[in-house]
Structure 1
Amino acid sequence: MLQIAALAVATGLVEPPTWVFFRDKQVAGAELEAALERQERELAPRTLRRRARVRGDRGVDVRDVPPAPDYVQSVAATGARVRVTSRWLNAVSVDADAVQRAAIARLPFVAGVRPVAPTRRHEHLPVKGEAPTSWAKGLSWPHLSALHVPELHACGLTGAGVVVGVQDTGFLLEHQAFAGVQVIAARDFVQGDDVVADQEGDTPGQHHHGTGVLSLIVADDGEVFSGVAPGVSVLLAKTERIDVEEAYEEDFYVAGLEWIEGMGADIFTASLGYSDWYEPQQLDGKTAVVSQAAQVAVANGLIMFAAIGNGGPDPKTLDAPADVDGVIAVGATDFDGVVTPFSSRGPTADDRIKPDVVAPGQDVWMARSDSLVAYEMSQGTSLSTPLAAGIGALLLEAYPDLDPAGMAALLRATATQPNAPDNDAGWGFIDGLAAAGLHCTCVDDDADGHFAAACGGDDCDDDDPASHPGASEVCDGRDNDCDAALPAEEVDGDGDGVRLCAGDCDDADPARHPGAIERPDDCIDNDCDGEGDPACAPTTGEASDTGATADPPTGTTGASSSDGASDGSTSVTSTSTSDGASDSGAPATGDGGCGCRAEDDGRPTWLLLLLAALPRRRLRARGRPG
């Protein structure tokens, strides 16, 4: 946000205003936190949501805190008149003479001073032309059809729900082209009020440039004229004066940009630029004051469109802030896509390609400001830029998650020369229909933001909003994230209807799963509750004999009667062994794997064989312990 503290409206200034930059903001700790909380209350909720989505934080930081009041007061105490106070730049702009500037520069908290740059208006260049023969969109048909806007309108895109900030010289909202425009707020940074049309103190025709620019975005005049995105809502900032030879309004540009961003705009467009105070080597996207402010705006998630300028055809003739990496710089062409001679060229000082894209900027019809019903033909990058911004609004309606980088990438990738960009046309002529892509050629029945695979999308189940690329897998046996693979724990290998992720403890055995009937004698955890059968509990063998491993003495069986009988009969206790159980008490094999153990009575195997061969006068069987 940026506040107008005082305003110099006198004409004929001998010297340009001055930027004064401060070293710090005099806030830290609890005081800083309190200041940030105030900014959270001041910024529009829409702004905070956008910032949080793009930045991944709370949406406010020290850049949103105003400059220290003591610093501003000390600057004013020199006699300088404060024009604008910038939070993002931690600076003020002032009208000051040489003595006052010297006094300001000596203040210990001042980091530096520099002149406020004059605006280079990208003037409309009126031309004569015939009305188009097709009246599907009236006078606007040639430039709209070149961008494939009629097809975008036909698939339901109008910019509804998108907020566009437009910054210019003023706006004649009484023109019939704006009868249905939704103005959220308007601000005149030149006179410090909310009147953005011509008013007392303005030069007549002040609102001419801005009226034409705005009509290319939002106009809705039936079959006579249509803007690219008539469904958008707008924030309007008047930041230029036309009554002085050199309009030093770089500070007003910063003021309008901070205000529009803080009011919740999604897209910003301005057909204004600055280069006269900057050498080509300074147009690096970081040096010009407006470029520094634009960097902050883009980092906050504001999608910015900027006219590259009308200084072509020589290289390195672009204006700031079109030099910023992340700002979408727009050049001008005719309707055949040929770059006009006047369209400025790149590269930037650090050798980045500019412009990003081009759009119609020659023989373009727009609203006239000297009539409430008339239109005129004109040319310039002032016209190609709002047309590109209008396309951006339609795309943002189609793809609401687009951020500045995503918007630039989409426009570049679908323009006419995506693989061979240059410094004349950038990545090429905008193709709105190609950029809209599947939104206009496919369906998204479940409204999850992914289009059906049947028509070229990536949604493997367009009836289920929980199934799409990037979705979380849940334990339902379905490919929720559309990667054509199920996690192993979601596969029901034994067909018992229960998956490993749902608690199946043995996916190879259909008899084992939660809810299965527990069998008391099979030593298996059938119901997967983690508890085994009581009948299979390990035993200690306390009831069995423990000795008798020596060779038998001659003439005796070495056996005693289990009931203490002494009648000379041979009494034996038959030891039951299970399938090859050893005489050492080790677990027997063939027990179904339950870990049960067959207990012996301590007698060696040879003795048992001998006893089995003797006449059996008395045999008592002893059962195997469970």
Structure 2
Amino acid sequence: MRKIVVIVVLGLVQMVWAQEDAWVYFNDKPNVQAFFDNPLGELSQRALDRRQAQGMALNDTDAPIESSYITQLATAPGVTIMAQSKWFNCVHVRGAYSDIQNVLTFPFVHHIHYADNSLNLKMATHVPSVKPFHKTMEVQTSFNYGNSANQIEMMNGQYLHQANDTGSGKIIAVLDAGFIGVNTISPFSRMFTQGHYLGGYNFVAGTTDVFSTHNHGTMTLSCMAGYVDGQLVGTAPDADYYLYITEDVNSENPVEESYWVQAAEQADRVGADIISTSLGYFAFDNPNYGHTYADMTGNEAFASKGANMAFSKGMIVVASAGNDGGSDEPHIGVPAEATHVLAVGAVDSVRNYAPFSSVGPSYDGRIKPDVMAKGYATTVSDTSGNIMTASGTSFSCPVMAGMIASFWQAVPQLSNQQVIDFVKQSADRYSNPDTLYGYGIPNFQQALTTALLTVSEQHETNSFLITPNPAEHDITVSWPEEISAATFTCYNTLGQLVYQETLTTQRTIAVDSWNTGVYLYKIESARSTQTGKIIKK
């Protein structure tokens, strides 16, 4: 009987694996020009402003997928569309190999890339021997009540909070497995009563119900947005939040990387500044789909490519390093290994490395993790609103993401790369990073002091002054007496000329007719050129 059961089980596994996962890439985007003509049909004004403020131009990746391609592909026999990505102009499909191959007959299909690398007409890679681990990160919990002072003060984050830099005006998108109880329990009541919850989506189920499925997102979110006076204060209690479910808790499959990228695209669309994700990918249920350490080169895996793309749109991606430091495969996985992701490892209350925290370097030798935060016995909320402690890089990640939101609020003129640079440079091992701690634990007081000094020095070198900024009705352009004339040019978020004039004296310019948003200006004189942004209220 036991032999029969084993044979039946093996047969079921083979049937499941007969269904392949693949990405189908399209040739083009016929609607690109229509997108450029009306970008607000695809991106929010806040998303456009974020790009403009950091000098990031719109490009083809911002345009949506051609809808007729998806409609036609949906008719392909035996093929199910699971997810889609406009950034990479592709869809994630599932079906038998032969059925998926048949979609190559569609004239708009460029190529297919299978999750099983042995099907991609190249030498099969080594299948990882490690067992699949649950990507929502195992946690160790206890009911040791207390407060969150240690996890904030360890990074001198209280210095920001005391200056009222608590994440206000910044948007954090949280990509996780589920947020049970967030809409009903008291640690998040402040988030709702003050209007900091902006919405969410369950990409696995295809619904707007995010307050279900799993407790993991509830706990991670509490590290940033939770507030119980005297017990728990999140690192960004006044930031705004979008909540996205991308983790299928019932299986380990590469489609979750596609859900992750789809959610990152939505985070971009709504204008989020930061993505906090306590998820990681390495091995899957089907071992043929698994990543290897050799894949950890910064831009190989689909989710890592998506994270890098999110960075190119002006966002900061903060990811858990992983909890496999003591396993046969201890290295940081996807997307924490990505080139432009801030990977966060875990330490305890006295700054010691937590043995479960995944280690670096990346396969191509980059420093990973990037930084560390408290991830051992971190103060969190459970789904009943109880304040407890839990351990895992799942919690060091949001602790760090919230502090970055508060820091960015304090110096909003910084680009995403500048924010990351200042945070790393403030860390206690910056001059001597290693494979356990990376650059170490940031000091946000030091980061802020350095950033403000840098900004001040930059301002002192400017010859021209534009006031007020932000402006509602008009702006005044002025400069030192030694400059006889200057050309003032202003562009909108599409790079279109809005205003240009050669000025010989101080000039007041009416901006009443300008649309609300961010504009780039350039002032050129015989002795200098100055660029910057004007915010029209």
The equivalent of 2:331 in structure 1 is 317
The equivalent of 2:518 in structure 1 is none
CA drift of 1:131 comes to 3.5
Q: TM-score, normalised by structure 2?
A: 0.74
CA drift of 1:262 comes to 0.9
CA drift of 1:210 comes to 0.2
CA drift of 1:38 comes to 4.4
CA drift of 1:19 comes to 2.7
Q: TM-score, normalised by structure 1?
A: 0.64
Partners of 2:382 and 2:388 within 8 A in 1 = yes
The equivalent of 2:160 in structure 1 is 152
Q: Distance in 1 between matches of 2:455 and 2:331?
A: 42
Given residue 16 of structure 2, which amino acid in structure 1 is its aligned partner? V
The equivalent of 1:346 in structure 2 is 360
The equivalent of 1:123 in structure 2 is 137
CA drift of 1:62 comes to 4.3
> In structure 1, the residue corresponding to 2:78 is in which secondary structure?
coil
Higher RCO (CA-CA < 8 Å; seq separation 6+)? 2
CA drift of 1:403 comes to 2.3
Q: Which has the larger radius of gyration?
A: 1
Q: 1:187 to 1:261 in 2, by over 3 A?
A: same
Q: Distance in 2 between matches of 1:247 and 1:400?
A: 36
The equivalent of 1:330 in structure 2 is 344
Work out whether 1:297 is the aligned partner of 2:310. Answer: yes
The equivalent of 2:510 in structure 1 is none
CA drift of 1:86 comes to 1.2
User: Greater shift after overlay, 182-191 or 72-81?
Assistant: 72-81
1:137-187 deviation per Cα after TM superposition (whole angstroms, max 9, x unaligned): xx2122122222223211211111111100111112212111021111211
Partners of 2:29 and 2:63 within 8 A in 1 = no
The equivalent of 2:373 in structure 1 is 359
Partners of 2:136 and 2:278 within 8 A in 1 = yes
CA drift of 1:409 comes to 0.6
Give the count of matched residue pairs: 435
The equivalent of 1:220 in structure 2 is 227
Q: 1:246 to 1:304 in 2, by over 3 A?
A: closer
The equivalent of 2:50 in structure 1 is 50
Partners of 1:316 and 1:347 within 8 A in 2 = no
**Out of 173, 180, 188, which is 1:178 matched to?**
188
Work out whether 1:188 is the aligned partner of 2:202. Answer: yes
CA drift of 1:385 comes to 0.3
Q: 1:283 to 1:154 in 2, by over 3 A?
A: same
The equivalent of 2:120 in structure 1 is none
Partners of 2:136 and 2:176 within 8 A in 1 = no
Partners of 1:122 and 1:380 within 8 A in 2 = no
Higher strand share: 2
1:224-278 deviation per Cα after TM superposition (whole angstroms, max 9, x unaligned): 2110110000011011222346684222111111111111100111001112221
> In structure 2, the residue corresponding to 1:96 is in which secondary structure?
strand
Gaps of 5+ in 2: 1-11, 118-131, 284-289, 469-476, 484-503, 506-537
1:585-604 deviation per Cα after TM superposition (whole angstroms, max 9, x unaligned): xxxxxxxxxxxxxxxxxxxx
Partners of 2:134 and 2:252 within 8 A in 1 = no
Identity in percent: 26
Partners of 1:159 and 1:229 within 8 A in 2 = yes
The equivalent of 1:114 in structure 2 is 114
Please show how residues 132-151 of structure 1 align to structure 2 within 5 Å: 132=146, 139-151=147-159
Q: 1:365 to 1:247 in 2, by over 3 A?
A: farther
CA drift of 1:315 comes to 7.8
Work out whether 1:260 is the aligned partner of 2:264. Answer: no
Partners of 2:21 and 2:95 within 8 A in 1 = yes
Given residue 439 of structure 2, which amino acid in structure 1 is its aligned partner? W
Please show how residues 532-571 of structure 1 align to structure 2 within 5 Å: none
Given residue 61 of structure 1, which amino acid in structure 2 is its aligned partner? D
Q: 1:229 to 1:17 in 2, by over 3 A?
A: farther
Higher helix share: 2
Given residue 195 of structure 1, which amino acid in structure 2 is its aligned partner? D
1:79-130 deviation per Cα after TM superposition (whole angstroms, max 9, x unaligned): 3111212111111112212331232356552412212898851424223364
1:34-66 deviation per Cα after TM superposition (whole angstroms, max 9, x unaligned): 133344322110101112233442x34344231
Q: Distance in 1 between matches of 2:88 and 2:133?
A: 19
The equivalent of 1:92 in structure 2 is 91
Please show how residues 384-423 of structure 1 align to structure 2 within 5 Å: 384-423=396-435
Given residue 145 of structure 2, which amino acid in structure 1 is its aligned partner? A
